[in-house]
Structure 1
Amino acid sequence: MKDDIRSAQAIEERQVADAWLRITTWLRCHAPATLELLRPGATEDEITALQQALGVRIPAGLKSLWRQCAGVRTVPGQGSNFLLGGWALMSPDSVTYVYREKMVSQERDGDDEFLFWRPAWIPVCSFYAADYTHGLYLDAETGKIGGWSRFYEHRPGFESLTDYLEEMADALEAPSLVTGEKPGLVNDVLVWGPPSDPGLEALWTPFTG
């Protein structure tokens, strides 16, 4: 049984790492300004410290992602929200901050009928690098990706972190097959669109491969 679990975790780690490599390879070729925003990967000690701070077992796939990249830098005029759906990858410090804030809200005002946050929900992405009003979380129990908003609305997202990253990588590599938001560029920055902001839309060029 333990061997099966370790094998599944190893597969998950490899799938996430492979999908992330596809994404960063694309960024290196087409959106170098976005690539420069990526923070270096977290160390094993940093991941262990984060897990202890949360008090939740971090799934193997999420550990794998953070080993590759521990969030994004905030640079004026640069889009930190480059992930599929327009999300920014959160740093370990921001993950800890948001998790604690959400758990305080749950303990203070939530109940079984009005759910603010579950202990197993680990924040992963935010609206922008420094804007936590909306975001995506990974359910450490189910492995599924869900979303939150400032109004404590919760919505389903993806079956797994692997699915989310692979769908993004697929969209970058084969944009003609994308039916939703499409990848595009603004001054070497990856922007999903067409953007709703008229000024940004005027600068946006769809990526066609």
Structure 2
Amino acid sequence: MLGLTHAPASARLLAPPANPDEVERAQVEMGVRFPRDLQESLGCHDGLVSWANMLPEQPPIPVAEIVSFWRMSVETAGDDPDLCAPHEEGGEPWWHPQWIPWAQGDGASQVIDMREGPQQGRLGSVASYGTAYFGDGWPSLAAYLSDVADVLDHGGTVGPWAPFLTTDGEL
């Protein structure tokens, strides 16, 4: 239906695959292994070549920006309990060093939670203020991207978002 063959302007914005050595260096610096679905996604496209409203929420970012945004967030949170500790019982902090920011824009990011446990790999949202939110997120990046692809092929919505084509051939 709306697959990228029908959105050539958006398709041109997909970056080439990430350099595997750069992905490995990122994992070492961040001290966290990227889940297989993120590695596979980066093996197809290292984010976008320029900002685009191609996916619901935020656009995917290249490996270099993943590391840069992660580093800035870790440094900002430091050991400040208002930023790196949950504000309420069962809540989330503003930032955790085992979160991978894979998509970012407009002061917010989508993160992959790589903390140990049964919810490892789930997607959540982090705003420039407040605490992270995982409540309505997807259980994995693969599940999210699969839902997006299904909606592009067959119609419907991804969460509250419905894709549409502009007259310029963009999603």
TM-score normalised by length of structure 1:
0.69
Task: Name the SS for the 1:34 alignment partner.
Answer: helix
What displacement does 1:108 show?
Answer: 4.3
Match of 1:166 among 146, 149, 169: 146
Task: Name the SS for the 2:163 alignment partner.
Answer: strand
Report the more deviating stretch, 113-122 or 156-165: 113-122
Contact 2:94-2:129 within 8 A present in 1 as well: no
What displacement does 1:152 show?
Answer: 3.4
Contact 2:86-2:94 within 8 A present in 1 as well: no
CA distance in 1, matches of 2:66, 2:80: 21
CA distance in 2, matches of 1:87, 1:81: 7
Q: Given the alignment of the two structures, is residue 137 of structure 1 paired with residue 108 of structure 2, yes or no?
A: no
Task: Flag structure 1 segments of 5+ consecutive residues without an equivalent.
Answer: 1-22, 191-209
For 1:189, the equivalent position in structure 2 comes to 170
What percent identity do the matched residue pairs reach?
A: 27
The structure with the larger Rg is 1
For 1:112, the equivalent position in structure 2 comes to 85
CA RMSD, 1 decimal? 1.8
For 1:57, the equivalent position in structure 2 comes to 33
Contact 1:102-1:116 within 8 A present in 2 as well: no
What displacement does 1:86 show?
Answer: 3.6
Task: Flag structure 2 segments of 5+ consecutive residues without an equivalent.
Answer: 88-92
Deviations along 1:126-172, one digit per CA (max 9) or x if unpaired, are: 12xxx4x1010011230100001011331121111111001101111
Contact 1:34-1:82 within 8 A present in 2 as well: yes
CA distance in 2, matches of 1:155, 1:34: 28
- Using CA pairs under 8 Å that are at least 6 residues apart, name the structure with larger relative contact order, 1 or 2: 2
Task: Name the SS for the 1:88 alignment partner.
Answer: coil
Q: Output aligned runs, 1:10-159, within 5 Å.
A: 26-27=3-4, 29-74=5-50, 80-83=52-55, 85-110=56-81, 111-114=84-87, 115-127=93-105, 131=106, 133-141=107-115, 142-156=120-134, 157-159=137-139
For 2:90, the equivalent position in structure 1 comes to none
CA distance in 2, matches of 1:81, 1:108: 34
The count of corresponding residues between Structure 1 and Structure 2 is 155
CA distance in 1, matches of 2:23, 2:128: 27
What displacement does 1:112 show?
Answer: 3.0
Deviations along 1:99-130, one digit per CA (max 9) or x if unpaired, are: 01111122142343442311210001112xxx
| Structure having the larger proportion of residues in helix | 1
